[in-house]
Amino acid sequence: MQPKSSDSETNWKQTVYNWLAEEGMFRKEVDDPKAKFHFSANYPIGSPYQVEIIKPRDMKDGILVVAVLRVAPQHRQRLTKMAPEKRKDLIFKLKLSLLQQRPGFSVKERDGAWDAAQFQVRLLFDTLSKTRLLEAIDEVFRCMLVVIWTFANAFGMPTNAQQPGFYA
């Protein structure tokens, strides 16, 4: 059962925690001074990938579902060594693929190559349900897969990476 939108953030914190725990996804509570609550979840269950569920202090009406990937050093090196036109084309196609997804995304670049990508879905309390939370978690994970598979296809699998091509 979910709290009504007028209920306190404490109730939402407990509700979201319960949903994550029921699904076996809850990893830990994160100490975050910018958040009313911040949970880290493993998704898919048992995988090393993480998704963050955050209630920012300055957000009155909902929560954020966020995932961040850092590009593996070997992939970064290959990106920086690509011919500029080929790199531009690869990144353009990757961004077009990500624009087809619901989550918003931002990219941190260094030396003309991706360093990290962040994906985010905003969920409002007036429509928040366990189903909607799980869908948002899946949506940000699918965005991570778009990036992982694009780079793995272009550069192969790097050695010594925690995940294929990325460090979460």
Give the number of other CB atoms < 10 A from CB of residue 168: 15
Report pLDDT for 165. 47
Report pLDDT for 167. 44
Domain ranges of the chain: 9-167
The pLDDT tens digits of the residues spanning 86-107 come to 999 999 999 999 999 999 999 9
151-154: list long-range contacts, CB under 8 Å, 24+ apart. Answer: 151/71, 151/75, 154/78, 154/90
The pLDDT tens digits of the residues spanning 22-53 come to 999 999 999 999 999 999 999 999 888 899 99
* Gap between the Cα atoms of 113 and 124, Å rounded: 34
Query: By three-state DSSP, how is residue 92 classified?
Result: helix
Residue 162 — φ and ψ, nearest 5°? Answer: -65, -40
Residue 5 has pLDDT above 70, yes or no: no
Confidence of residue 7 (pLDDT cuts 50, 70, 90): low
CATH 3.30.1460.10 fits 9-167, yes or no: yes
